Every structure is written in C-alpha cells, then in structure tokens.
C-alpha cells in the first residue's frame, strides 16, 4: 500500500502484481503517474471507494493505492550478493538487524539502507518482523532495490563477513568508542557492516560478542536513546560521510 511501495513494485516486478486498486476520487499528478506506469506494465487498475481500500489494506494509511501481489523472493545469500559486487570501487556496506520486530522499524531501516547505498540488509529468519504491507509502505520501495537476506543464524553471517575482510560494528549505548571519535572515522572507510539490535533488548549476547567493536551514538539532549531505524540512518550516514571526507582529502 502507498504510492512509493506500489510504484516500485510495478516498475521492478510488474509480473508479481495480481490486482491494483486505486481511489476513484483521486486524480492528482501522483495518481496519474502511477496509472501511467500501470498501463505501461499492462496492469488494469480497479477504481474503488475509500472503504474498499481500507478493507483491502486493513488500514487507512494507503494513500489511495493498494496492490495485491505475489511474494518476490529475497536475495539468495550473502555470497550471491558479494559476487555481484566484483570490480566495484566502493567498499561494501552491510546492515544487519538483530530481531527487529516492528514492521515500521524494519521498513524504515530498509529505506535508510537504500538511501545510503547499503549493498545488503541481513535479518535472522526467526524473530524478525515480517515483510508486511506496513513494512513495505515504510520502506517506500526499498525492498525492491536493496537485497534483504534472511539467514538462519545472524552470528554465522557476521563470521562470514569477517572472513571476507569486513569490519563489523555493533551499536551499544554504553560503548567507549563513539561515532564522534576521530580515530574511528578512518575505520569506516573500508568494508563495513553495522549491526543493530531490536527495540527492547538491543543486541543479543552472541551477536554482540561476534562484533569487532561496539560503538555508541552520543546523545546530547534529554533523550537517552534512538529508535532502531533512526540509529541505523545515523550510523549509515556517518559511514558515508567518513568515506566522502577520505576521498576529498586525497
């Protein structure tokens, strides 16, 4: 549901769209652009009223657009994604989410991953939020552009990344190293993976122990912590900012 999520699915996986429902009363530019994309893809929309859309989406946050779709397979594996990066000049950047259970947080983290050039998002197969309509809407099409890999064991995935020369950093409120540490800035210019824990418990013990270093996001005001999707955006921005500075210092 929602313009970004539905349009991304139409443009990238049109064959997966089974039915497209749109508001009969909405005729603005965004709707015209979506309908044009649907026509190009050979998808015939159903024009319905708001109550029908609310029932289909089980929500009123659909923006007048709901698609019934077939599931699109997640990326197969980290090795498959890694093979596709061969010859690219930029070092790999990976985001691992340790049992993030809120679909909105999963979707928002995916959106940040897509915005900051993450090569893959890795989630454990059990204990993570489903890739539901709410997650898809929050992701604004990011599931269609950024590989999301499900793994049986997140600690094993961390080990695989370390075996491939990726430095793995976990976020921890009480960590001594912070994103403001100038010595840490240089560490972000190579292959990097960030690991963030779930909304209540943070990183699980084994996940935490597998990280190369734990890093804190400094808090300057009265709020003591950040939503996990916001924390992901901060860490990914800091990584790309450090890489930008390194390039321009050469």
CATH code for residues 3-69: 3.30.1330.30
CA 157 to chain CA centroid, nearest Å: 17
pTM for this structure?
Answer: 0.81
Which residue would you say has higher pLDDT here, 229 or 58? Answer: 229
Task: Say yes or no to pLDDT of 238 above 70.
Answer: yes
Question: What does the alpha-carbon distance between residue 170 and residue 235 come to, in Å, rounded to a whole number?
Answer: 10
Which pLDDT belongs to residue 83? Answer: 86
- The average confidence (pLDDT) of the chain is 90
Domain spans, the chain = 3-69, 78-249
Pairing mode, if any, of strands 45-48 and 17-23? parallel
Which residue would you say has higher pLDDT here, 8 or 36? Answer: 36
Task: Say yes or no to pLDDT of 199 above 80.
Answer: no
Q: Quote helix, strand, coil % in the chain, to nearest 5.
A: 45, 20, 35
Phi, psi of 216 (to 5 degrees): -105, 145
Which residue would you say has higher pLDDT here, 86 or 242? Answer: 242
The mean pLDDT value for 69-80 works out to: 78
Per this entry, what is the length of the chain?
A: 250
Question: CA 101, 107, 108 angle in degrees (round to 5)?
Answer: 105
The mean pLDDT value for 45-66 works out to: 91
78-249 adopts what CATH topology?
A: Alpha/beta knot (3.40.1280)
Pairing mode, if any, of strands 93-98 and 120-124? parallel
Which pLDDT belongs to residue 12? Answer: 84
154-197 per-position pLDDT tens digit: 999 999 999 999 999 999 988 989 998 888 888 999 999 999 99
Which residue would you say has higher pLDDT here, 116 or 81? Answer: 116
Which pLDDT belongs to residue 75? Answer: 65
Domain 3-69 and domain 78-249, same fold? Reply is no
Which pLDDT band, with edges at 50, 70 and 90, does 74 fall under? Answer: low
């Amino acid at each position: 549901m929602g313009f970004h999520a539905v349009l991304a699915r139409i443009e990238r996986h049109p064959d997966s769209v089974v039915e497209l429902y749109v508001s009969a009363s909405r005729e603005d530019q965004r709707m015209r652009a979506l309908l044009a994309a649907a026509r190009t893809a050979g998808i015939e929309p159903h024009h319905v009223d708001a109550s029908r859309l609310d029932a289909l989406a089980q929500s009123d946050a659909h923006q007048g657009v709901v698609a019934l779709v077939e599931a699109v397979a997640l990326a197969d594996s980290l090795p498959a994604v890694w093979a596709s990066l061969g010859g690219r000049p930029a070092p790999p950047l990976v985001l691992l989410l340790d049992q993030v259970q809120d679909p909105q947080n999963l979707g928002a983290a995916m959106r940040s991953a897509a915005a900051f050039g993450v090569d893959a998002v890795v989630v454990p197969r059990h204990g993570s939020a489903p890739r539901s309509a709410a997650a898809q809407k929050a992701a604004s099409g990011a599931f269609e552009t950024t590989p999301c890999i499900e793994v049986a064991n997140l600690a094993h995935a961390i080990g695989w990344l370390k075996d491939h020369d990726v430095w793995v950093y976990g976020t921890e409120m009480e960590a001594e190293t912070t994103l403001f540490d100038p010595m840490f800035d240089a560490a972000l210019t190579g292959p990097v993976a960030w690991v963030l824990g779930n909304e209540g418990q943070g990183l699980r013990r084994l996940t935490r122990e597998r990280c190369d270093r734990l890093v804190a996001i400094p808090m300057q005001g009265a709020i003591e912590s950040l939503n996990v999707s916001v924390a992901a955006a901060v860490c990914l921005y800091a990584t790309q900012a450090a890489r930008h500075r390194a390039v321009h210092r050469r």
